[in-house]
Amino acid sequence: MNIRSLCQKSLRRGIPHCRWFFLCIAVLLAAAEVRSAEPQPISFNRDIRPILSDRCFACHGPDAETVAGGLRLDVREQAVAAAIVPGDAATSEVIERVLSEDDDLRMPPAALHKPLDESQIALLKRWIDEGAEYEVHWAYTPLRRPELPPLQDDNWGINAIDSWIAARLAEVGVEPSPAADPVTLVRRLALDLTGMPPTRAQAEQFVSNPANEAYEQLIDQLLDSPRFGERMAIYWLDLVRYADTVGYHGDQDVSMSPYRDYVINAFNRNLPYDQFVREQLAGDLLPNPTLDQIVASGYNRLNQTTEEGGAQPKEYLAIYFADRVRNVSQVFMGATVGCAQCHDHKYDPYTAKDFYALGAFFADLQEQGKYGARQRPPQIPVPTTEESQQLAALDQQVDRAQQDLAELQSSLLAGQAEWEAAALETAEEPNEGVEIWLDDQPPTATLSGDWNAVTGATGPVQSGEVAWKQVANKLTQHYFINAKQTITIQAKTRLFGWVYLDPETPPVAIMLQWNDGDWNHRAVWGSDAISYGRNNPKQISLAYRRQGKLPETGKWIRLEVDAADVGFKPGDVVNGMAFTQFDGTAYWDSAGTRITDALAPDLVAALRTPADSRSDEQTKQLREHYLATHPAHIEQSVKVDRATAARNGFAKTITTTPISKSVTPRPIKILHRGNWMDELGEVVEPAIPEFLGTLETEGRATRLDLANWMCEPENVSTARTMVNRLWYLMFGRGICSSVDDFGGQGTFPSHPELLDYLAVEFVDSGWDIKQMLRMIARSATYRQSSKPSAALRAQDPYNDLFARQGRFRISAEMVRDTNLMISGLLVEKVGGPSSKPYQPAGYYAQLNFPRRTYVADDGPDQYRRGVYTHWQRTFLHPMLKAFDAPSREECTAMRSRSNTPLQALTLLNDPSFVEAARAFAVRIMRESDGAVADRIDWAYRQTVLRDADPFVRQELEKLYASHYEHFAGNLDQAQQMVAHGKAPVPDTLDTGELAAWISVARVLLNLNETITRY
């Protein structure tokens, strides 16, 4: 019989039965109180495992090699055999040790500084008395879709999420918070899904019609915005430790922006999460991979690397290996496998063998322990759509020029026999032409170095009246460039210069260099002491051509090289020449070119051989020489070269990025205690953690096999990890609050059934990220107010129950984006190289190898979203650092959230924010009308989407009045105020008034409400 039927029955019987009625009510209420006071049944995972993991497992846990006293408390059979008596806590040694007064016997040891409190001891006793049952860790149990609890309230709840939340709230007697007001809700939703406040039009449209249908349309609109991918990328790039620099040693730049753009586009096109995982771990191993998939494989190259000269490559390969295992396990599994690098995991069932077997999947990556020259091979160019079109057009120009050359060759070959006859006649008496470029006077050009002229009376002279003496201490040169009289290279051009080496103090090396736009045409005699153009002693390149030993001293020698040998082609135009030596004394004299029509002996022999008796090689030599020296062929070859140079020059401007490339895997051994020099460990093959099963593969398992295992519907980690993080993005905390660790040191989920329900839903949806976010956003749970009652705050300070929404400061990038958006300065462009906002001068003073000076961007790139900000690992941009952005040296699944005076000072004084305030002030003056109070109302609505409270408006009016009075009387200071930033300042606005409105704008952009998501 329920209370309602008792009440009706008593009322029908009349007043005499009231006593019976109220007695029944009292009894039923008391019974209900007793039931609600009954403790929840003990759950090993929820109640006991956290105690054992935090206080006991370090010494008595999964690391079997270091178990103290031979006691393992993570395995029931061993715990029961030695220290636990199921059903009898009083006689269990575990409890005896916990309660012992003897410091030597009491557990946990005093040195651990983690004593158990009374509530924890009571839980342990109760658990043992109830049978000391163990459970498989919740994160490793099979995924299942739990049955939905019954609806608790017909007036609250929209979808399955609300059923689980309401059921938990009913258990503890807590009511959900009321729905947020429309302004708060639209702003919250926009910040969560796009990382920026809603546009004014979006906000006004929703506030005027906050119906459920309009709300769901708004969700879809925000999910379809390009801003969505940028917002999601901010979080994902934290996870995978994306940066624009290498991290170690000199922290040099590395070109990873195409990977960042891949992530943004993947979220925007709602790439299924399982495919997203596969493409990053093994995009290069997919059948016929696309450019996007190969770029995605750059995930494996996001680890920190080094160029340090003294680095041990083998040591750094071990460092990269461990870094990769840590990141893969945290990002995709929510696991801390990295803790098993030196020994078995202290808290989770991961062994050291598991650590190295997981890393062995990546042993096929082509990589180096030590890199150099700002390169991280293998790298590929990643053109934008526009660049691809330009490259295709340039390729067509090259193809046309080459086709014209081929047609020309066919027509010219008809005249080869006539040329051969003429060439044979002149073979005995060749002609020669010499062009002097430098003699007694340098050509009209830009001169550099010491041009010390000597005459025959003071030194040797080869021709004319003057030579040029050069005395060197180490590396010395004199040269001319941008000569008015240039040299055009022909087919048989030879370049020369005369030199006389002092017999008493000769140089150790001499070099001639020529310039046709660069100096990469060099010939060197003697040692390798001259460094120009030489990257390593064994290198052979056009930029550094060795010609043998030094010429004879004490006499004039003509140094001569074929123009082709130093990288010139017919048609190239030479405009400069350099005379270089290392140590000693040399005299330099006339220089120029020599052109002869004399044929090489082998060509003459071929000409004298009848055509039908020539060898194939002779026929080929004559044909090539004839074409190469024909003026028409030279002219068309120059066109081909120019088209090719234009194409290649443009190709060099295209952004490149490191990618994954599979090579023969290197052997992986277990490193004892993580020591990279220890060669004695067991060789391991790629494998998933043993307690999670085995992979069935033909031959050695690959990264693609690993990715496929992670994306199996039965995988216990992947879906749980991702949906928990999506929940975290929408509430400010996860269902499991330790979003980076689902293991023994993590936290038990506040709603484990809901987490499993969402994980199964995620898999069944086709791993649809937008669908999961849509489901969360549609729930009544999400729509709650974030303002708790005093009672709720006291009962649930950390919002474990989700009886309210979260409220928290937005991330660093969003702070920047919000300010730029309100100011009107924001430039929205998806993708491209990273941008460099204003930064304090000298901030990079301690960066070396090389030393560098930060140069802020000009133009639109200065005003791009924060996700595109240059990420310098060791010297993170000060604004990002002030607002708790991570350096991205390791995986960051949850940023710190601090509230410091430095943040307020940054918002007031960082040039980006001062300029944003100035641009916002311009908007206030141009776009709002009326009195000061009206303009303040307009500005306040633009900033936080609601009207200012009266006392706030009054304070802002006072601020404006006092600052206007000051700036109107100090126009020089007003001018300084409005001059901040590179955006143009309108000259039609009153400077004093603009400066005063800047002050108001700085306050508005610094409001806690402006940078807080409610």
Give the C-alpha distances (Å, rounded to integers) separating 116 from 38, 41, 54, 133, 186: 23, 21, 10, 20, 46
For residues 863 and 200, what is the distance between their CA atoms, to the nearest angstrom? 20
How many angstroms separate the most distant Cα atoms in the chain?
Answer: 146
Residues of the chain with pLDDT below 50 are 1-37
Kindly list the distances between the CA atom of residue 177 and the CA atoms of 165, 171, 381, 752, 794, in Å, as whole numbers in the listed order: 12, 16, 53, 22, 14
Beta-strand runs (E) in 601-718: 656-658, 668-669, 683-684
Q: Are 805 and 785 in contact (CB under 8 A)?
A: yes
Q: What pTM was estimated for this model as a whole?
A: 0.85
Q: Which residues contact 109 (CB under 8 A, 6 or more apart)?
A: none
Three-state DSSP string of 190-217: HHHHHCCCCCHHHHHHHHHCCCHHHHHH
Helix (H) / strand (E) element for 385: namely helix 385-412
Per-residue HEC secondary structure of 942-973 comes to HHHCCCCCHHHHHHHHHHHHHHHHHHHHCHHH
Angle at 485 between CA 481 and CA 488, to 5 degrees: 95
Burial grade of 969 (CB within 10 A; 0-12, 13-18, 19 or more): exposed
Rounded Cα distance between 864 and 813, Å, is 10
600: which residues sit within 8 A by CB, 6+ positions away? none
What does the pLDDT read at residue 540?
Answer: 61
Could you give the CA distance from residue 60 to residue 70 in angstroms, rounded to a whole number? 8
Q: How far apart are CA 148 and CA 821, in angstroms?
A: 42
Residue with tokens 């790039």: 237
Q: Residue 433: its pLDDT value, please?
A: 86
Separation between Cα atoms, residue 243 and residue 259, nearest integer Å:
10
Partner residues linked to 445 by β-bridges: none
Q: How many CB atoms lie within 10 A of CB 732?
A: 18
Q: Show the CA angle centred on residue 371, arms to residues 366 and 373, nearest 5°.
A: 125
- Amino acid 694: pLDDT: 96
- Are the C-beta atoms of 171 and 753 separated by less than 8 Å? no
Whether the CB-CB separation of 502 and 586 falls below 8 Å is answered with yes
Residue 662 CB-density burial (10 A; 0-12 exposed, 13-18 middle, 19+ buried): middle
Handedness of CA 812, 815, 818, 822 (dihedral sign): negative
Q: Nearest Cα to 431, choosing from 583, 594, 269?
A: 594
Phi and psi angles of residue 95, each rounded to the nearest 5 degrees, phi first: -70, -40
Confidence at residue 429, expressed as pLDDT on a 0 to 100 scale: 73
Q: Output the pLDDT for position 154.
A: 81
Task: Name the percent of the chain in helix, strand, coil, to the closest 5.
Answer: 50, 10, 40
| DSSP-derived pairing of the beta strands 545-546 and 522-526 | parallel
Domains of the chain by start residue, with CATH: 44-135 (no CATH), 138-177+712-806 (no CATH), 180-224 (no CATH), 383-430+599-651 (no CATH), 431-596 (2.60.120.430), 909-1013 (no CATH)
Q: Side-chain half-sphere of 475: how many Cα atoms within 13 Å?
A: 8
Residue 417 has a CB neighbour count (10 Å cut-off) of 10
- The reported pLDDT for the residue numbered 30 is 36
Q: What angle do CA 664, 670, 671 make, to 5 degrees?
A: 110
Lookup: tokens for 820: 């730029």
Residue pair 690/702 in contact by the 8 Å Cβ criterion: no
- Measured in whole angstroms, the distance separating CA 529 from the mean position of its chain's CA atoms is 41
Which single residue is written with the structure tokens 């049952």?
133
The kind and range of the H/E element at 5 are helix 3-13
- Count of positions (residues) in the chain: 1014
Q: What is the CA radius of gyration of the chain?
A: 39
Per the CB < 8 A criterion, the answer to whether 665 and 363 are in contact is: yes
Q: Quick check: 12 and 88 in contact, CB under 8 A? A: no
Phi-psi category of 732—alpha, beta or left, where left has phi over 0 and alpha has psi -120 to 50? left
Which residues on adjacent β-strands are paired with residue 588? 468, 499
Closest residue by Cα to residue 895 from 742, 732, 731, 721 = 732
Q: What is the pLDDT of residue 537?
A: 52
pLDDT of residue 430: 72
User: What are the backbone dihedrals phi and psi of residue 764, each rounded to the nearest 5 degrees, phi first?
Assistant: -65, -25
Cα separation, 184 vs 101, whole angstroms: 56
Q: How many CA atoms lie within 13 A of 394 on its CB side?
A: 17
Tokens of 414: 């008809």
Q: What distances in angstroms separate CA 662 from CA 213, 473, 665, 684, 864, one per listed residue?
A: 50, 50, 8, 18, 36
Q: Is the link from the previous residue into 108 a cis peptide, with omega within 30 of 0?
A: yes
